[in-house]
Amino acid sequence: MENVLEVKNLCKKYDNFALKNVTFSLPKGMIMGFIGENGAGKTTTIKSILNIIQSYEGEIKIFGLDNRKDDKTIKEDIGVVLDDMFFPEILTPNDINNIMKDIYKNWDTQMFNGYLKEFSLLPNKQIKTFSKGMRKKLEIAVALSHHPKPLILDEPTSGLDPVARAEVMQIFQNLLEKEECSILLSSHITTDLEHIADYITFINNGEIVLSRTTNELLDDYGIVKCSEKEFKDIQKKDYIKYRKTKYEYEVLIPNKKDFKTKYNISVIDKITLDELMLLMIKGEE
């Protein structure tokens, strides 16, 4: 399968944090959910991909092109929403349209106006009158309106209510169907990713913990809740992490089918991405 984005051995050091050999790839036409707690390295990785952060080690390719050497060529075809992105508050959506059509060769005014209408954003109103959610919708409209091939999205639905989030997620899905587009989507709202993402990449403390298809994670992984006696009978090779609660042990296992065959434990709970993150981060080995 062709990859639109390839990140290989990405390293970036700060005084109290480092990305350590971050490696993953985004296949063409797919949505990858990029998850991890605050400070795990999601935004640093995304800003490295976008060449906003340049002093890093490793290799990043978009469309097979080096993101540092071919920066101008690549940026024409990338749609971006960043968590700390902003437009000057005195501008209106109409002003932004006039600016963007001089920046992007493929800028589509008709598409942009369509998104403004869909998001109920008035084209002549200054941004300073917009709520946080309205500003986020405007950023998304801008990111989508020049027919991008990959979309790089850092918390694109933060500040949106559940109805607006569902609306935006549906737009992303429709975009994949209509255009040859791929999406890297960083979000803390993992329930959204469970329904929309084809792949999940999980970063913790600057390192990639796993990068798998969503179906593999939700179908194969599970949580066993058992007594201390039952837990002591489980071999270390058959679980990933565990957490002791007041009344029981919660054990993260990588293969429900194999586990059921080997152990006399009939009930294995399905896992959510929230539970996966909690056990991977807070659990013991």
Please compute the mean of the pLDDT values over residues 216-239 and round it to a whole number: 92
Q: Which two tokens stand for residue 94?
A: 């109409």
Using one digit for the tens of pLDDT, what is the confidence trace for 180-212? Answer: 789 999 998 898 899 899 999 999 999 999 999
Give the separation between CA 162 and CA 170, rounded to whole angstroms: 12
DSSP class per residue in 153-192? EESTTTT--HHHHHHHHHHHHHHHHHSS-EEEEE-S-HHH
Give the separation between CA 219 and CA 255, rounded to whole angstroms: 8
What are the Cα distances from residue 154, in Å, to 17, 85, 186, 262?
A: 19, 10, 5, 41
User: pLDDT grade, residue 271 (50/70/90)?
Assistant: very high
Domains in the chain, start-ordered, CATH in brackets? 3-214 (3.40.50.300), 221-282 (no CATH)
For the ranges 163-177, 195-209, 267-281, which has the lowest average pLDDT?
Answer: 163-177
Give the separation between CA 179 and CA 157, rounded to whole angstroms: 21
Give the separation between CA 19 and CA 248, rounded to whole angstroms: 35
What are the Cα distances from residue 175, in Å, to 28, 148, 180?
A: 13, 10, 8
Looking at residue 248, its pLDDT comes to 92
Looking at residue 1, its pLDDT comes to 72
Using one digit for the tens of pLDDT, what is the confidence trace for 135-151? Answer: 989 999 999 999 988 99
Q: Is pLDDT at 84 greater than 90 in this prediction?
A: no
Share of the chain above pLDDT 70, in %: 100
Amino acid letter for position 55: S
Using one digit for the tens of pLDDT, what is the confidence trace for 32-63? Answer: 999 999 889 999 999 999 999 888 999 999 98
Amino acid letter for position 269: D
211 Cβ contact partners less than 8 Å away, ≥ 6 residues apart: 24, 199, 200, 201, 202
Task: State the average pLDDT for the chain.
Answer: 91
Strands (E), the chain: 3-13, 18-27, 31-35, 57-62, 65-66, 79-81, 150-154, 182-186, 199-204, 207-213, 222-226, 241-244, 249-253, 269-270
Q: Which two tokens stand for residue 238?
A: 């058959």
Share of the chain above pLDDT 90, in %: 65
Cβ atoms < 10 Å from Cβ of 236: 8
For the ranges 16-20, 171-175, 243-247, which has the lowest average pLDDT?
Answer: 171-175
Instruction: Please state the pTM of the whole predicted model.
Output: 0.91
Give the separation between CA 194 and CA 32, rounded to whole angstroms: 11
Q: Which two tokens stand for residue 237?
A: 């090779």
Coil vs helix vs strand at 244: strand
Q: Is pLDDT at 179 greater than 70 in this prediction?
A: no
Q: Is pLDDT at 73 greater than 80 in this prediction?
A: no
Give the separation between CA 62 and CA 282, rounded to whole angstroms: 34
Q: Is pLDDT at 252 greater than 70 in this prediction?
A: yes
Coil vs helix vs strand at 88: coil
User: pLDDT grade, residue 15 (50/70/90)?
Assistant: confident
